[in-house]
Amino acid sequence: MHNTSNPYSFATWCRETLVEFTELNAEKQVFSGFLIAVLVTACIQLIEYTGGLPSVFEHLIYFPLIFAGLLLGPRIGALGGFVTGLMLTPMFFPTELNNHSEAIIDWPLRLLMLTLLPLITGLISRSVQQLHHLENKAKKTFHGTALPNHDALLEQINEWSKETAAPADALMDIINLRLKNIDKLRNQVGHQKADKIVAELARQLKEALGSSAEIGQTATNELVGLHANTEHSREELQEKLQALLRQPIVIDGNEFRLDTSAGVLRVKRENVKDNANVVIHDAHQHGYSAAENNQVFSFLDQDNDLVNDQDEPLSKQLLSAIENENIKLYYQPRLNTNSGYFSVLEAIVRWRDNQRGYLSPEDFKPLIEEASLAKQFTGWMIKTAFNDVSQWIKKDFIVRLSLHITLNDILEPAILNAVAKSLNQTKFPASSLSLEVSERSLVRINEQAKVYLKKLRSMGVTVIADQFGEGQLTLQSIFVLPVDAIKLSENLVLQATSNSDKKRTLISMIKMARSRGLKTIATGVDNRAKLLLLKHIGCDELQGSILSKPTAKDDIPWARIR
């Protein structure tokens, strides 16, 4: 009965035995050659003594030796053929079985053929194997260097991510070194020496990270270091990399200075599994951003998300309101002035208080002024909105969602990361999502949040500067920020309806935004005068009570949404 627990097949045994055989030392290979020769000769003698073979089959003698050369190498094949030829001398057979004079003439030719055929076959086989090895090596190394390329690094990441010995929460660092002046060095010292400089930097990086690290090259100006199960703190890693990048590279006694920046992406091993290509792309983008911002060292923890703050509870009042469903998400449609249909649903938080009625986020903002509470509350809003979106998608509704994510005017990297994870989990198209960030949060955006925001934009997410026109930012400053649209403040629109100067300013602003590819959105459209003005001056999207009030998720006018 076949034992399913041991799938070791005969073919597997043959392959492994062959590999082990080719790795034998010279003495054992010589012995093997003699053994093959004896076996072949014995078979021939047995055939001769039993009457011989028809002439058409006489050349079958060469096939065992050819296969020996093909599979075991030219040395063993040639040795086996030569010894076989020696053992088949005419004097070895009785006189009555052969024409002695004729055999003496034919024997040297046969000896030569028995030796050369397996030798030539073995040499051809070895050449093909070497070419195949070089081809595979070329596929996994960067052009003309010995450093692993992008594909080889992906294989390494996949291999590390599937290790069962390492804990699931083990950390992996992906380090991108951008060599800003390497092209200039290539022109000065030549390609060969420039490659030596890069190779030496790779060697030093591996030495700094440890022998378990893998260093590869993905572009002429980029090195990538992989360090699995890292135990370096951010500060320790920063110190090591900055010390490495400060020192010159010495080649042939000459010192060379590299203008280098380092971007480090830290991820959990479990999050890399089956996702290596995305992770290494994110690391590349982070390294590129670090170089663009002239940062010598930039650190990004991909798992810096809401989980880190779960120990900090919401205020009891807010928590109670959420549990009792007094705090809910409502959705207000936004009109597209070109199509005449509603095109986007903006998620709006409403708190139904027994004494004060419905409260907007501005009304209960004092309760969530602490950064941790604002982060938790925004996380709840994101989770709830995407749960609703998942239900709508199942019903084949066309959904474009807009979320305001800066309740306390601080753009948190953890919130942006939560948005990215929700997009991935729900498979909601990134191009159908808009994120509204306040003008104040854009003024004081930090580098990490800017990196996350650029990453979301590269996925297709639209970023909207909310409350624009309150005096914090100008259009010129907006143009250099990661923003795709501006949402005009209610006060700006109100002033334009009653003041001709403000109206001209608003018209000029909309024209300038459109010329730079920015969409314009107006909110607070609560009367006919504002509606006609904004449509007349070419505002792209309008939102307000005269068009549609915020509605519960079950009351959305889907028939009017395109």
In this predicted model, what pLDDT tens digit does every residue of 336-378 receive, in sequence order? 999 889 999 999 888 776 666 666 666 666 666 655 677 778 8
Residue range(s) occupied by CATH 3.30.70.270 in the chain: 150-303
pLDDT at 382: 92
Q: How many helices (H) and strands (E) does the chain have?
A: 21, 16
- Angle at which helices 74-87 and 100-139 cross, to 10°: 170
User: Would you list the DSSP string of 94-121?
Assistant: -GGGS-HHHHHHHHHHHHHHHHHHHHHH
Is-contact 157 226, C-beta < 8 A? yes
Any idea what DSSP says for residue 315? P
What's residue 344's pLDDT?
Answer: 94
Look at residue 13 in the predicted model and tell me its pLDDT.
Answer: 55
Burial of 288 (0-12, 13-18, 19+ CB in 10 A): middle
Sign of the CA dihedral 463, 469, 471, 475?
positive
CA distances to 65, 360, 386, 412 from 363, rounded to whole Å, are 92, 5, 24, 22
- Is residue 79 within 8 A of residue 33, CB to CB? The reply is yes
CB-based contacts of 225, cutoff 8 Å, min separation 6: 173, 174, 175, 177, 205, 206, 209, 213, 214, 215, 216
User: Backbone phi, then psi, for 23, in 5-degree steps?
Assistant: -95, 5
pLDDT at 138: 54
Please say whether the beta carbons of 401 and 436 come within 8 A: no
The whole-number pLDDT of residue 335 equals 93
* Cα 106 from Cα 89, distance rounded (Å): 10
CA–CA distance, 398 with 389 (Å, rounded to integer): 10
CATH class of the structural domain 150-303: alpha beta
Give every CB contact of residue 46 below 8 A, 6+ residues apart in sequence: none
Residue 52 main-chain phi, psi, to 5 deg:
80, 175
380 membership: H or E segment, kind and range: helix 371-394
**What separation, in Å, do the N-terminal and C-terminal C-alpha atoms of the chain show?**
65
Per run of 10 residues, the mean pLDDT along the chain (length 562 residues) is 42 56 55 65 62 52 69 72 68 48 63 78 76 60 79 83 72 88 86 88 89 86 86 82 89 88 85 75 76 77 47 57 78 92 90 67 65 76 91 88 87 87 87 90 83 87 86 72 88 86 88 89 90 91 91 89 84
With both helix axes pointing from N to C terminus, report the angle between 413-426 and 371-394 in degrees, rounded to the nearest 10: 20
Average pLDDT taken over every residue of the chain: 77
Tokens coding 458: 């590269």
Alpha carbons 438 and 298: distance in angstroms, whole number = 25
In 4-93, which residue ranges form alpha helices assigned H by DSSP?
Answer: 10-22, 26-49, 62-72, 74-87
Residue 79 confidence (pLDDT): 72
Q: In terms of DSSP bridges, do strands 260-268 and 297-301 run parallel, antiparallel, or are they unpaired?
A: parallel
- CA 98 to chain CA centroid, Å, is 73
Scored b (16 or more CB within 10 A) or e, 17-43 reads eeeeeeeeeeeebeebbeebbeebbee
Q: Is the pTM of this model over 0.85?
A: no
d(CA 327, CA 496): 34
Distance of alpha carbon 223 from alpha carbon 136, whole angstroms: 21
Cα 140 to chain centroid distance, Å, stands at 17
Q: How far apart are CA 214 and CA 141, in angstroms?
A: 13
In the structure encoding, which two tokens stand for residue 142, read together? 């960067």
CA distance 312 to 299: 25
Angstrom distance (rounded) from CA 28 to CA 35: 10
What are the backbone angles phi and psi of residue 66, rounded to the nearest 5°?
-60, -45
Closest among 72, 70, 76, 89 to 37, alpha carbons compared: 76
| Parallel/antiparallel/unpaired status of strands 249-251 and 254-256 | antiparallel
**pLDDT tens-digit profile of 154-165?**
888 888 877 766
CA separation, residue 189 to residues 193, 198, 203, 472, 488 (Å): 6, 13, 20, 50, 55
3-state secondary structure of 549: coil
Question: What does the pLDDT read at residue 305?
Answer: 42
Contact present, 465 and 483 (Cβ < 8 Å): yes
- Checking phi first, is residue 79 left (phi over 0); if not, alpha (psi -120 to 50) or beta? alpha
Task: Specify the domain boundaries for CATH 3.20.20.450 within the chain.
Answer: 308-560
CATH of span 308-560 = 3.20.20.450
Residues in Cβ contact with 76 at an 8 Å cutoff, skipping those fewer than 6 apart: 29, 32, 33, 36, 68, 69, 122
Contact assessment for residue 20 and residue 44, using Cβ atoms and an 8 Å cutoff: no
